[in-house]
Amino acid sequence: MGTPLQIASLLVHCRPEWLAAVKANLQLLPGLELHQENTNGKLVVVLEAEHESRILAAIDHIQQLPGVLNAALIYHEELLEGDA
């Protein structure tokens, strides 16, 4: 049996004037990738972690970042190593 990997995607909405600072803070989080953004302060983020609790902790952390209005979970799946 393979090692599980948690994959989640989020829509992060922040104040447009805080976009650069929010992006800089997000890029400090392990297992996080920024995929899309717009000037209205919306970002598409993907998180990867071994445990679901780390995904939940990251979402909690993101919601507390200065300038963030909301972080909404859009998709979550547990994959086993080797799944495609």
Domains and CATH numbers, the chain: 4-80 (3.30.70.920)
**Tokens 């803070």 map to which residue?**
25
Asked if 13 and 65 count as a contact pair (C-beta separation under 8 A), the reply is no
Start-to-end Cα distance in the chain:
15
pLDDT-above-90 percentage for the chain:
89
Q: Could you tell me the pLDDT band of residue 2, with boundaries at 50, 70 and 90?
A: confident
Model pLDDT for residues 26-54, shown as the tens digit of each residue:
999 999 999 999 999 999 999 999 999 99
**For the residues of 35-81, what is the DSSP string, one character each?**
EEE-TTSEEEEEEEESSHHHHHHHHHHHHHSTTEEEEEEEEEEEEET
